[in-house]
Structure 1
């Protein structure tokens, strides 16, 4: 029992080292993405100039005034024309995505406190200076590129809209949704709501970036700022839009967790003489790494190794068997294969709905990973070697998967869930090793590992984790 506790502690340390440590060091917005306590505040309606109707600057998955997803783009103009400019391609056809979206993890607003940035919360939104007039401003339109927005279905989110003084405000569902990107990879998502008053021409939107999480079977919101800038640039590049006169930033006082700062993009399309297909700034995510710094750090670490340390490393290397490499390769192949397979099936097999693809591939994660780990680790002698190899391999596979998708921030609840998943798989591998099964095939390490794996995945699917 004492040896099992030591092995479990070592695997937990590996899980924290490979998952928790990098998350805290290299994902500076992780604490901001994590949902805060909801605030059931009274609605404060935002109205635009020359408009009787208005909106509460948040979306919600329930018809309650909780500060959840902040609205971040406002377009003055005819709703149908706005949607056509976003989604109509050069051939005059709308592109529709055949997606029935899974429930997405939404952003949650601040529970208490006020933003010190000045703004008018209940009247006309506070208008600031021009956007994108500086030649060095990254929002300035460059050579036109067409973002292939596709019209898509999605989980219902409610907006609280006020038609004006003669009618009562009420909850409404989205008018239309758009997306750009890979459903089972990384994508940008827009929910749009048109004015409830036909005399007022405006559309309010909530746009965010998100990725599909195979360990939770839902989309995880990564942030709103990047998506807002991307949509803003797309609208700015529409022929006929005057960047100096038609594009502004307005303060809606709806900052929250993640990178939502309370400022929304406001684009006026009412004065356009002509309208054409929406164009966009092709956005890419760059990763910067100073390889020279890493190399120098590695050299310094090597200089600090003593003869005893080198002897221990050599002894550990001598214990490496073919099964260690097979175990590591199998875990990497399953995690990355499911990601790549989901994207490939979504692109090429039109008869499969997203739910069908998830039902086809998720068993490889939920059942395939622990079964393959147990089968391969049963050929290893030492419990610690098997557990550390499985835990470290899964942690590396998770980070490679995030790198493949392009995720650079993680919510704290996701970090915690990944820690538990890595720990559970490591315990399963340790419990399968030959030294562990000599006393009893169903030993304490295996029992705890399987139980933790089931509890974490089932609890996540049910929304408890």
Structure 2
């Protein structure tokens, strides 16, 4: 019993160290990503004194919950705006004449510019949960709830993406589209997208329109205060882009290619990164070890079994393989819907990881070693996964859920070892680990965790 308590305490310490503490230190704030569930009376916004107005938030239900703040408004014809954001050029090349004033060529030199999209990003069609906007057409009609005119994305459904929901004005003469843009990643534990923030997406959409050749950044792009800060990292300001009266460029118009110059970074000491790394080669590290350190390393090495390494790479391969498999199937297998892909891959996490962990742990001797290796491997896999999708901020509920699954997998591994199997009383560790794994994953899917 005492050994079981030691293992549980060690697993809790490991989960706090590698998930709890690090997320609090690395993330700007774990409270930035949140939602305001309070239902309020709507305060409506009009665009350039148009008759139609809209509420400055979106809601997952047809009631006034301050969930997703409107952060971009584009004025112009709906069809033109969508065509500007989504249509691809035909890939033609256009030749232009340069002058000596450029400093790069003599007068009369002909350069070729690579054809590209009218703006910086070619937004693709997206799917996502419905969010409702409250629209008031004007004094002669009643206000109503409406779903999206379109959803666009840049990125991957099963990875990280910029996601936009667009809502067009009810009156054609008003010519505006309200947008809600945010960044999000697919969470394989919840099988849903988790919003990371809205500010980065707003900046991306803003810079995307600013790259349009007919947009004057000083005249046609501005920000207005909508007073809808609060959810996520929203600051209450929305970008307004004026496209009214512009001629949308046809496909095939060349855009100037940008060049990047690689540089070698040197620090204040005048050395490159590779020169600094040379200080930490195995030979250099060995000179700093004491005899006590060497004995401890030797003792740890003697406890190492081949099964430990197999367990590490198996957990990493299964967990990260689900992420990479989702991206591969999304990009390469058109016949599978997102729900089909989730149905194929989620059992690898829910069932494959704990069963494989238990089978490998049966070949190991020590409970504590197996528990820590399994829990540490899952913690490492989670952080590598977050690195793949570019997540650097975690809300508290996610931190707690990840800590619980790490502890549960550690208990499964510890309870399945040879030493645990000798004494039936200690198999309670395996039972507790399995029950904890099922409860935590089930509660996560149902929205309780």
The 5 Å alignment of 1:302-451 reads: 307-308=291-292, 310-440=294-424, 443-451=427-435
2:175 and 2:117 map into 1 onto residues whose CA distance is: 29
Name the CA shift for 1:7/1:302 in 2 (closer, same or farther; >3 Å).
farther
Which SS does the other structure have where 1:386 is aligned?
Answer: helix
* Residue of structure 2 in register with 1:137 after alignment: none
Name the CA shift for 1:276/1:235 in 2 (closer, same or farther; >3 Å).
farther
* Residue of structure 2 in register with 1:45 after alignment: 44
Deviation at 1:444, TM superposition (A): 1.6
Name the CA shift for 1:40/1:200 in 2 (closer, same or farther; >3 Å).
same
* Residue of structure 2 in register with 1:19 after alignment: 19
* Residue of structure 1 in register with 2:158 after alignment: 184
Deviation at 1:202, TM superposition (A): 0.5
1:67 and 1:151 map into 2 onto residues whose CA distance is: 26
* Residue of structure 2 in register with 1:200 after alignment: 174
Contact in 1 for aligned 2:39/2:65 (Cα 8 Å): yes
Deviation at 1:29, TM superposition (A): 3.0
* Residue of structure 1 in register with 2:89 after alignment: 90
Contact in 2 for aligned 1:208/1:222 (Cα 8 Å): yes
2:311 and 2:349 map into 1 onto residues whose CA distance is: 15
2:399 and 2:21 map into 1 onto residues whose CA distance is: 10
Name the CA shift for 1:83/1:295 in 2 (closer, same or farther; >3 Å).
farther
Deviation at 1:331, TM superposition (A): 0.3
**TM-score between both structures, scaled by the size of structure 1:** 0.82
Name the CA shift for 1:280/1:220 in 2 (closer, same or farther; >3 Å).
farther
* Residue of structure 2 in register with 1:79 after alignment: 78
Residue 161 (1) aligns with residue 131 (2): no
2:16 and 2:256 map into 1 onto residues whose CA distance is: 40
Deviation at 1:310, TM superposition (A): 4.5
Deviation at 1:312, TM superposition (A): 3.0
Please tell me the root mean square deviation across aligned C-alpha atoms, in Å: 2.9
Name the CA shift for 1:37/1:2 in 2 (closer, same or farther; >3 Å).
farther
1:21 and 1:293 map into 2 onto residues whose CA distance is: 27
Contact in 2 for aligned 1:234/1:280 (Cα 8 Å): no
1:280 and 1:454 map into 2 onto residues whose CA distance is: 55
Which SS does the other structure have where 1:30 is aligned?
Answer: coil
* Residue of structure 2 in register with 1:95 after alignment: none
The 5 Å alignment of 1:97-176 reads: 146-176=120-150
Name the CA shift for 1:366/1:28 in 2 (closer, same or farther; >3 Å).
same
Question: Where does structure 1 lack aligned partners over 5 or more consecutive residues?
Answer: 93-141, 283-287
Per-residue Cα deviation, 1:173-197 (whole angstroms, up to 9, x for no partner): 0111111111111111110001122
* Residue of structure 1 in register with 2:55 after alignment: 56
Name the CA shift for 1:242/1:59 in 2 (closer, same or farther; >3 Å).
same
Larger-Rg structure: 2
The 5 Å alignment of 1:244-255 reads: 244-255=218-229
Name the CA shift for 1:3/1:300 in 2 (closer, same or farther; >3 Å).
farther
Per-residue Cα deviation, 1:388-417 (whole angstroms, up to 9, x for no partner): 000001000111111122222222211111
Question: Where does structure 2 lack aligned partners over 5 or more consecutive residues?
Answer: 92-115, 259-264, 268-272
Per-residue Cα deviation, 1:202-261 (whole angstroms, up to 9, x for no partner): 000001111111121111111111111111111122232111111001111111143211
2:37 and 2:385 map into 1 onto residues whose CA distance is: 31
**TM-score between both structures, scaled by the size of structure 2:** 0.84
Q: Across the two proteins, how many residue pairs are aligned to each other?
A: 408
Deviation at 1:271, TM superposition (A): 3.1
2:15 and 2:330 map into 1 onto residues whose CA distance is: 32
**4+ runs deviating over 4 angstroms:** 142-146, 276-282, 290-296, 298-310
